[in-house]
Amino acid sequence: MKATLTVNLASDSHLLRTNLPIEIRDARLRLAGTLRGSGSLSLDPGTYRVSAVLGDGREHAEIVVIGEESGTSLTLGKCTVDDALPRQTIPIPASLEERWKRLDPKEGMAAEHDRRSGWRLGRMLRRILEKMFETSRPEPKAAVPLPPPLVLSKCVDAIVHGSTRDQWGFRATGRQIGVARFRASFSRWSVSLPVFVDRCDDEGYFLFNPSERRADAADCVVKSDRSQGRERPLALIAPWRAVASAMQHMLMERQLTHAANVVEAASDLLLYKYQDPVAAALGALVLHRIGRLGEHATWIDNLARDFPWLPDGRIVKAALLSTKAGDDARDEAVELLLSCVKARVLFTDSYSLLLELLRRHQTRPRHAARCGKALETLAAAWPLVEWGLPTFTVREERWL
């Protein structure tokens, strides 16, 4: 007599909810069944362990006893990523939100086409936010509060969108990799921000349409991280970008296979519709790490070509070209790599790959000089890179 086990995955994302693999093991831990996303299966009565790696990159598991009489249902894991991120503390003024909503694609194009006006919009928004910061600041108390572990000192090509004592939300201001500068007692860092940059339309214009995103959420969040025994700024993709956020957390938890599963499940959105180019670049790095870049060669070409502001795409393409025979492919790879030497990369993995590929091409006489010089340029930053952080973060100098 079999009974039905129904497993639901607790995730806001339909894609993750319906695609993350679930393992069901019996009391001897033998695999009794698998599910792809929330679903049901028939099992003999007994004790089972049900587990899945969710969007926070961690394995969530429950032990469940299935009786003979009726079906059993369980909800697996409550992803804690959302709870870990700051809510917006400063609401976007209704008038501005209205203006965004009213922006039609043409107006969006115009706003982006005229960089100056886009820049003015960003400045205006920043002024409003700064004003609100000032007005909403609480009255000083008699007790001296502890200084925050990190202080945001500057933000370039992104705007602050909500903050708490030790967490900051950021949003994109244009087609750029945002950079935030933080300082602590003895260090300061510049952090590449994985902001949400919309795709381009067919004519190459930027479709700035914030109403598509979750209105109260930042694109990414920087929080104070003490995992290495000292304070560091950790940049995380916001959970509403469910696919990108899940990939990032899975990589941080060394769950590469699960990250690759997410890339495959989301390949249509991620790889071919460019819903989130930053997520696409992260997906490309995942594919590179599991040796499956070649299966998406056309898409890698497009990623490198369509998003010149994102050098990570060019580095991944160079990795693909470097595995091909013939001088033409390798020459192109070297040119792509050299074009990234002075660019700000987004992910630490991209920077590592850039170094690795330059070292590889340096062994060939025809590229030795140029690759050697590029490596010398990069060597200056090398000891200052925070290798343990997912987005490219550099300690800038001693801060005394």
Partner 1 sequence: MNETAELGGVIAEDLSRPGTHVLVIGVSRYQHGIDADAPGRLCVDMRIGNLTSAACSAATVADWLLHRVMLPPLPPLASLRVLLSPVDGELDEMPIDARLRTAPRATRANVQEAMRQFRIACESHRDNHAVVYVAGHGIQVTRAGAVLLLEDFGADTDPMKLYAAIDVEAHRRGLEHDDAARQQCWFADICRERPEIASKYQNLPAGVPCDEFVEGGVDASPMVLAAATGARAYAYKNGRSFFCEALLWALRDGGAATAAADSWQVPFTALYGKLHARVAEIARKHGYEQRVQLGGNCSPGVFHVYDGSPTVDVTIALKPDAAPRTSRLRLRDDSSVVIHECANCWPATTRVDAGIYSVEVVDTAPFANFFKSMLFDPSTPPYTVTLR
**Nearer to partner 1 among residue 197 and residue 345 (C-beta):** 345
CA distance 52 to 59: 5
Q: Binding mask 187-216 vs partner 1 (x if CB under 8 A, - otherwise)?
A: ------------------------------
Joined together, the tokens standing for residue 359 give 């070292």
Q: Binding mask 24-63 vs partner 1 (x if CB under 8 A, - otherwise)?
A: -xxxxxxx--------------xxxx-----------x-x
In the list 151, 256, 297, 369, the residue contacting partner 1 (rule: CB under 8 A) is 256
CA distance 199 to 206: 7
Could you give phi then psi for residue 326, rounded to 5 degrees?
95, 145
In the list 82, 97, 166, 253, the residue contacting partner 1 (rule: CB under 8 A) is 253
**Nearer to partner 1 among residue 142 and residue 380 (C-beta):** 380
Q: Least distance from C-beta 271 to partner 1, angstroms? A: 19
Q: How many CB atoms lie within 10 A of CB 131?
A: 11
Residues 293-332 that bind partner 1 (CB under 8 A): 294, 322-325, 330
Q: Binding mask 337-376 vs partner 1 (x if CB under 8 A, - otherwise)?
A: -----------xx--xx-xx--xx-xxx-------x--xx
Q: How many CB atoms lie within 10 A of CB 94?
A: 8
The neighbouring-strand residues paired with 48 are 64
**What is the residue-wise DSSP string for 179-248?**
EEEEE-SSEEEEEEE----PPB-TTS-B---GGGS-TT--SEEEEEE-TTSS-EEEEEE-TTSHHHHHHH
- Which stretch of DSSP H or E encloses residue 161? strand 158-163
The neighbouring-strand residues paired with 61 are 51
CB–CB of 196/252 below 8 Å? no
Q: Least distance from C-beta 324 to partner 1, angstroms? A: 7
**Nearer to partner 1 among residue 154 and residue 324 (C-beta):** 324
**Nearer to partner 1 among residue 74 and residue 379 (C-beta):** 379
Q: How many chain residues are in contact with partner 1, going by CB under 8 A?
A: 54
CA distance 90 to 86: 11
In the list 73, 211, 228, 298, the residue contacting partner 1 (rule: CB under 8 A) is 228
Q: Least distance from C-beta 339 to partner 1, angstroms? A: 18
Residues that bind partner 1 (CB under 8 A): 25-31, 46-49, 61, 63, 65, 227-229, 253-257, 289-292, 294, 322-325, 330, 348-349, 352-353, 355-356, 359-360, 362-364, 372, 375-376, 379-380, 382-385, 387-388
